Amino acid sequence: MQLLESIEKARVFDLEQLRYAGAPSHPAHAPGFNYFLHRHHARGAPEARTGASGIIVTPEHSGTHIDALAHQAENLTLHGGVHVDDGVQTSAGFRKLGIETMAPLVARGVLIDVAGDKLLDPEYAITPADLEKAARAEVREGDVVLIRTGYGSLWSRPDEYLQAAGISAGGSRWLVEHRVRAAGADNMAFDVMSSTPDPELKVTLPGHVLLLVRAGIPIIENLNLEELAAARVYEFLFVCLPLKMRGATGSPVRPIAIA
């Protein structure tokens, strides 16, 4: 009862972006979200009750979503030394490290508002120094850290949204060193969406290798952190529930912050 009473007094922040056809989408995950009304309310039914239902066609990495550990590989090897050729990768999904193996995320959340009152420059790479400077709450082992670039406010303007700032390889290493449970950002790819490989790792999207493959830390993308930042809430209870889709490389989510 005490837990219920405390939740009733708390404020709940919805961290999901709106899903609709034409919303920002990574080129690798086209066509993005699509919904088709398949069954209609119509005249001529045999009774007063009628029903309507639709069909969703979308990549699992569309809109606000979380990456499964099967999503990325380094030299064809997933987290924990799992090689994709060992009967793991199939036409029906992954037999290991699919999204159904990810437990619900219920943890202390920390917002690091790097943008503050202004938008970061397009494709700016957020450094460890930026994270340290912007942090208003201590980052502890097991936390979920959400990083605000400010580009979540441009969700309705896809061309600009896809030019968002992202987290540098150094920033991802900083998160690994702090042993976070998961990390997320209000941009499309967490990393900077650049075709230029990281000079040390020799890959694009280096955070995906450092976090998902090497450290086993899930990434949440396309978060809406505007309301949370406006309220200056930097510590909260974070809840994120991936769908249990067997073998999938990620899942749409509707994360919330409770403070």
Q: Give the pLDDT confidence score for residue 7 in this predicted structure.
A: 83
Q: Give the pLDDT confidence score for residue 49 in this predicted structure.
A: 97
- Are the C-beta atoms of 178 and 137 separated by less than 8 Å? no
What is the helix (H) or strand (E) element at residue 227, kind and residue range?
A: helix 226-230
The beta-strand segments (E) located in the chain are 12-14, 34-39, 53-57, 65-67, 77-78, 82-83, 89-90, 93-94, 105-113, 125-126, 144-148, 166-167, 182-185, 219-221, 235-240, 250-252, 256-258
151: helix, strand or coil: helix
Domain that holds residue 188: 12-17+60-258
In a domain, 27, yes or no: no
CATH number at residue 88: 3.50.30.50
**Which value, to the nearest 10 degrees, does the dihedral of the CA atoms of residues 148, 241, 10, 135 take?**
-30
In a domain, 186, yes or no: yes
* pLDDT tens across the length of the chain (259 residues): 888 888 888 999 999 999 999 999 999 999 999 999 999 999 999 999 999 999 999 999 999 999 999 999 999 999 999 999 999 999 999 999 999 999 999 999 999 999 999 999 999 999 999 999 999 999 999 999 999 999 999 999 999 999 999 999 999 999 999 999 999 999 999 999 988 999 999 999 999 999 999 999 999 999 999 999 999 999 999 999 999 999 999 999 999 999 9
Q: Give the pLDDT confidence score for residue 86 in this predicted structure.
A: 95
The separation between CA 252 and the C-alpha centre of its own chain, rounded to angstroms, equals 8
Q: Give the pLDDT confidence score for residue 204 in this predicted structure.
A: 97
Q: Give the pLDDT confidence score for residue 8 in this predicted structure.
A: 86
Q: Give the pLDDT confidence score for residue 195 in this predicted structure.
A: 87
Phi, psi of 122 (to 5 degrees): -55, 135
Q: How many domains does the chain have?
A: 1
The pTM (predicted TM-score) of the whole model is 0.96
Closest Cα partner for 71 from 101, 107, 35?
101
Q: What span, in angstroms and rounded, lies between the C-alpha atoms of 17 and 62?
A: 10
Q: Give the pLDDT confidence score for residue 4 in this predicted structure.
A: 83
Look up residue 116 and give its two tokens.
Answer: 């503050």
In a domain, 232, yes or no: yes
- Are the C-beta atoms of 38 and 53 separated by less than 8 Å? yes
In a domain, 29, yes or no: no
In a domain, 47, yes or no: no
